[in-house]
Structure formats: C-alpha cells, structure tokens
Amino acid sequence: MRVITGSARGRRLLTLEGEDVRPTTDRVKEAVFSIIQFEVEGRAFLDLFAGSGQMGIEALSRGAASATFVDNSKKSVETVKKNLKTTCFENSARVVQTDWRSFLSMTGERYDIAFLDPPYGTGILQDALVRVADAVKDTGVIIAESPMGEELPNACGDFVPHKQYRYGKIKITIFRHKDYCNE
C-alpha cells in the first residue's frame, strides 16, 4: 500500500494483518479521490473506520488541511500513528482510539469529507451513515465503501445518495446534502 499522489507520493504505508482487515485497494482509493479531487484541498477529512489510515493520509497528501482518524483498535491506532510519522503529517492529524458511536456523540467538529469503510455485512455502515451526517458540513460529502449487494439508506439526515460507482465487487456511494445535490 502506498500514497498515490501529492506531497507524500510513493511513500509506503504499513498495513494491518488479519482476517478482520480489508484495506481499500489502490484502485478504489484512486477512484474515490478522482471523484472528490476538487473538494480536498484545505478541507477537514474524517476517516471514521481508519484501519491503517491510508484514506486520511491520501487526503493530507493531496492538500487537506486536517484529518481525523478514528478506530477502536489499539493496533490500528498505532499503525495510523506510524504511517503519519512516515509521511510527516503528524501535525495535521488527530488520532482517536474509540468506537465510532462514542466519537460521533462527543465530537463538536464538522467535517468537509467523511469516509466510512466499516466491516462489511455487519449493519454498522447503515447506522454510521445516519449518525455521521450531523458531523458533516452541509456543503460536505459523505463517502461510503460497501460490497455491491449491501443496501444503504435512502437518506442520512439531510444527506441523500448522489452517485454510485462500481469497482468489481466494491461499491462507492457518494452522499451529498439534499440542497447541494445537483451541483
């Protein structure tokens, strides 16, 4: 796994091992950042199920002002911190070890971009999508990675599905605020 482009381009990132780990592929990561390429610079990025932190680090490499990495796993948090050190983004990042529900209930921050890629088939994504909407600015975007067959809600607060993209067995769904969906 590597940073695709930007100031940390080409830097190798540590990954997590184990059956519960499913990192976003470089192909899907590149596609996600192509979709939001003009929305990253100077923005606040939330990597809610951070894993190794590769999505938030990619955002920082592409000019995001800040990234918040949230994961319940101590091993994930340690990996994110090591990857931030490798890419020299420690000063632009906040790493929080807690479960996503606790984080969303306690954060007062509002993000421009939220990326959600929880374990597949657990129902976590559907619940998290509804709750994350309160932490995203109206002009922001929520990005959900899921398997093709997984049903997602028709609305997450005032955010609605704007576009879907398919990459093999993976689906990327872009949610935008209903008042900004046609822009």
Q: Supply the pLDDT for residue 76.
A: 94
3-state SS class at 171: strand
In a domain, 131, yes or no: yes
In a domain, 5, yes or no: no
- Of 136, 125, 70, nearest to 99 by C-alpha is 70
In a domain, 17, yes or no: no
User: Is residue 181 pLDDT above 80, yes or no?
Assistant: no
User: Is residue 96 pLDDT above 70, yes or no?
Assistant: yes
Question: What is the Cα–Cα distance from 38 to 41, expressed in whole angstroms?
Answer: 7
119: domain range? 26-177
17 or 159, which is more confident: 159
Mean pLDDT of 103-120: 94
Q: Supply the pLDDT for residue 60.
A: 97
pLDDT tens profile 6-64: 888 888 998 877 545 566 777 888 999 999 999 999 999 999 999 999 999 999 999 99
User: Is residue 138 pLDDT above 80, yes or no?
Assistant: yes
User: Is residue 139 pLDDT above 70, yes or no?
Assistant: yes
pLDDT tens profile 116-126: 999 888 889 99
- The letter for the amino acid at 179 is D
Q: Supply the pLDDT for residue 14.
A: 87
Structural domain tally of the chain?
1
In a domain, 15, yes or no: no
Q: Supply the pLDDT for residue 182.
A: 64
3-state SS class at 114: strand
Residue 97 in tokens? 């070890």
In a domain, 1, yes or no: no
In a domain, 20, yes or no: no
In a domain, 149, yes or no: yes
Q: Supply the pLDDT for residue 171.
A: 94
Q: What is the CATH number of the domain that holds 103?
A: 3.40.50.150
What are the helix (H) ranges across the chain?
A: 26-35, 54-61, 74-87, 100-106, 124-132
In a domain, 7, yes or no: no
